[in-house]
Amino acid sequence: MLACGCTGAYFRKSERPPAPQKAVVEWPVREYWTGIVFNGVRIGFANFMMSPAPVQERLYDIRSQAYLRTRILWMDKTVHLKSFDRVRANLTLQQFRYAFSLDGNRMIIEGQSKNGTLFYSLQTRGQTTNRKIVLQRPLYPASAAGLYPLLQGLTIGNRHRYDVFDGQTQQVRSFEQQVVAYEESELFSGPAFKVISRFLGQKVTTWMDTVGNPLLEMSMGGVIIAALEDETTARNSLTRAAIDKQDSFIEFSRIRSDRIISAPDRITSMRMRISGLGESVSIPSDFRQSCHRNGDKIICHIDLRGPPAGAQTRPETVEDFELDMYLQPTTAITARHPKIQQLAEETVPASANQLQRVLSIVEWQQAHIRREPVDVFTALDVLETGKAECQGHALLYAALARSAGIPTRVVNGIVYVPEFEGFLYHSWNESYIDGHWVAVDPTFGQVPADATHVKLVEGHSLADLTVLLEFIGRIRVQVDKFE
């Protein structure tokens, strides 16, 4: 209902707003619960609780959690995020511990902010990685974002900008907030301050009452909605999500095609028009993919044989330092883990050329890794569980390929899926073979990947993938021709 673009009809200005301001020591709201809806379907709940720290005065503990449960491709997906932040009276971060669970795979991040430096460790699959970030400004936890406006004063026009550590991306990023209005609505009780927050390129609108309760919160243009509820109602949302038979994310993200492609794996060339994107959004061009803007549309020509004459492409020349970057391990691409290295040695013949090495890895994954919509944190998760969705397949392939000496990266975009008569979001790889990047899809076992693979973003970290939120639920495609 709210995602239709007519949200203004549900809100009206309220007269004579107060200008409340509360110090943390006198904070009126110590705990609240919210139910979460995605694209009209209940998928879970979130809980927030703040209390004085037991060890020292003027320190406060913030505990928050979110349970989400939905269905993708007829399988249950479960996400549990649990965080603990210890903050000072001005809400700056002192120490933290975040636990993430995706479909049974776990990751823990914990650390502290001390003397202008953030120290933290990342633990997954028994492996611990220690890191540090030199801070330029005071640091706040993401969990305090809902407290900050009332701490500074809920005055219309107030604008705040501060640095936040985001546990999911493990990055320090700028968080912007502005109090823009004082409104009433049938969607909540009493007037509330409208606060707009911008973080990681996304916009979140919150209606907050005078004591800090988030009465209603919307993001992705109203596709994700969180509303204040009592604990029993919020917890019951998990039960409703468990029996929900809708593939809510697939239905929302599917991009219907005006033309049926019965055998996409045989397509070597495709020309399409993409609409629904803002003028600032672009789609990358390279050796196999040429994209350019024409008015309100982006025209893309994908050809496995290379770009047509005069096409706008990105140079294929790659410096040695860049290739070396795509041979290095990352937190997710565990290329130097002993199990990954041993498997690469066993799978890839020592005398094989680069293309043969790629084919060997893809063939092994096709035989040993099941295709299931299961989220993972690292390539090691995939290897040890023997199952993953497309991004997990791409992470494992990248780890094995890098271990075998093949520069490889993860890319993300859309691909045509006949069962859905349209395009779905998908992850695959690009390996540098014989002087140029070759699209490799380990999930579908394609070398090279067919021409219905349209790359939108390069990268595998959550920071890289947030760019996809500019596309999901917004774009439309028109396929002009394919062969």
Q: Report the C-alpha gap between 401 and 395 in whole angstroms.
A: 10
pLDDT at 76: 57
Query: Which stretches of the chain drop beneath a pLDDT of 70?
Result: 1-9, 70-77, 237-249, 307-319
Element (H, E) at 408: strand 408-417
Q: Report the C-alpha gap between 313 and 295 in whole angstroms.
A: 19
Per DSSP bridges, beta strands 41-52 and 59-72 are: antiparallel
pLDDT at 58: 87
Checking phi first, is residue 30 left (phi over 0); if not, alpha (psi -120 to 50) or beta? Answer: alpha
Residue pair 406/367 in contact by the 8 Å Cβ criterion? no
Cα–Cα separations (whole angstroms), residue 482 to 86, 264, 459: 56, 9, 27
Residue pair 42/245 in contact by the 8 Å Cβ criterion? no
pLDDT at 307: 61
Which CATH code fits 254-482?
3.10.620.30
pLDDT at 18: 80
Q: What is the DSSP string of 243-271?
A: H----HHHHHH-EE-SS--S-GGG--EEE
pLDDT at 7: 46
pTM (global) more than 0.85 = no
Cα–Cα separations (whole angstroms), residue 256 to 250, 397, 457, 474: 11, 29, 20, 12
pLDDT per residue over 322-375, tens digit each? 889 999 998 889 999 999 999 999 999 888 899 999 999 999 999 999 998 778
Q: Report the C-alpha gap between 410 and 331 in whole angstroms.
A: 14
Q: What is the DSSP string of 307-340?
A: PPTT---------HHHHHHTTS--SSS-TTSHHH
**Domain locations along the chain:** 2-246, 254-482
Q: Residue 294 phi/psi, 5° resolution?
A: -135, 95
CA 1 to chain centroid: 24
Q: Residue 22 phi/psi, 5° resolution?
A: -135, 135
